[in-house]
Every structure is written in C-alpha cells, then in structure tokens.
Amino acid sequence: MSTFVPGIIVQQLSQKVALVIGGSRGIGGAITSRLVADGASVCFTYVGRDAAAVALSQELDPSNGSFALRLDAADPTAAETAVDAVIQRFGRLDILVISAGKAIGGSIGDYSRESFDEVFSLNVRSPFLAVNAAAKVMADNGRIIVIGSIMAARTPGDGSTLYAASKAALVGLTRGLARDLGSRGITSNLVQPGPIDTERNPADGPNVPELHGYLAIKRHGTPVEVAGLVAYLVSDAAAFVTGSVYNIDGGFSA
C-alpha cells in the first residue's frame, strides 16, 4: 500500500511480483491497477473481453513489465500455466490474488449437476489449484488473497444456495492455507465484498432499493474500495494477519 506524504509516494510493493487471477475488469481490474500503482509487477489473467484486457494493459506502467495472460481459470491446467508464465517473466512470485468467480442462481430443485460442476470448478477448484501451484514457488513472506462474497455469511434472498455454498468453501480454504504456509511467513486471507458497483451488480440495477435496505451505508461499494483493502493485506503492515475473513459490505452482515 502506498504511503502518502505531501509530494512523495513511497511504493511499498516495489520489487514485488503479483499474479491476479481474473484481473482485467471489475474488482479484479481495480486490484491489478492498485498493485501496479503500489509498485508491483503484475500478471493478470482474463478469459474474455479482450478489449478490456488491452485497455487495462495500456493504462499500466510499462516500466515494471506487467502483462496480461488470456486463459480460462476454470481449466484445471490454467493455474500452472499462469504461475509458470510469471516465473519465466520475473523469476519469482510474491503475491497471489484470486478474483475470478461465477454465479448461477435458481431454485434448489432446478439446479442441474452441470450447474454444480460449473460453479464449483471456478469458485472452489480453481482457487485451490492456483494456491497449490503458487505455493511451490512463492517467496517466503508472500501473500495470498482470495476474493469471496458476503453471500457466504448472509443470504437474505432465494436462489443463491449454489453460489453461497461455493463461496463458503473459501473460508475453510483460507484458514487451512494459513496453517499450512504460516511457517514460511506466507499469509492467507479472504475478502468478502458485499454489493459492489460492477457490471454484474450495477449501482443503478432494478433491485437496488431493496438491496440498500439491508445496508448500514446506503450505497454500493466501489472496486477501488475493495482494492484498497487488498492493498493493505498484501503490504508489510499486514504481516501478522492471516487466516482472517474481511467483510467489505457496507454493513450488510452487521
């Protein structure tokens, strides 16, 4: 996280290398931009929307070698491919952020077996495989951040069983990783956003009045605000923070 002093910006992630899975737009795109602004060299992955990935790449500081990598995070081989690309380019990996995810809503009796596989392959298997690959090469005192959802803690409406279940699994993953990797100084934390103004959940959507009724702060959050929390968790200031779940939800879970 950058330290702001009048006229001076200290980039606390200078010399650090980050991989952001699902980092081209929305929350992931804001995280990519923040990590680069804080001095990190970043590889961000994306599965589609090539124009968005190109646009983000053009906004990033080219001097630190940051680059985009097109792959499908749900593919079982994607994690190893991404980690290998980072090591080949930079020779190290210090930060892993996993932001890719998918939601399929519906009544419990209407879900198909394929729906379960589709959601869990991206929301649960993909993060597991990413940390499995990253842990083999990550530098000591590294950082792992998984982006979950506040729906793992509170589901006030119908139709979210499958999505909520997949995001709840990330709590166990995060805490297990904290134990497994703590001896190396590697931290693992879960960030659970509430309503964030993205293409998937716009601040001017049709259900906004009802949704804001659940909040203590009556507005959507922003991707930049989520990125600010992530920036803290990957900084040296958070070296003793691990196995924790951070809700950034405007009081949705209060």
Looking at the annotation, which residues are catalytic?
Answer: 163
* Strand intervals (E) in 88-203: 95-98, 143-147, 187-193
Neighbouring C-alpha atoms within 13 Å toward the C-beta of 221: 24
Contact 120, 53 (CB under 8 A): no
The bridge status of strand 67-70 relative to strand 17-21 is unpaired
Looking at residue 51, its amino acid is A
Give the relative orientation of helices 26-37 and 223-233 as an angle to the nearest 10 degrees. 50
Answer positive or negative: Cα dihedral of 149, 154, 158, 162.
positive
CA contacts within 13 A on the Cβ side of 237? 11
Amino acid letter, 119: V
Query: Which residues make beta-bridge pairs with 42?
Result: 18
Yes or no: say if 96 and 187 are a contact pair by the CB < 8 Å rule: no
* CA separation for the pair 215, 187 (Å, rounded): 30
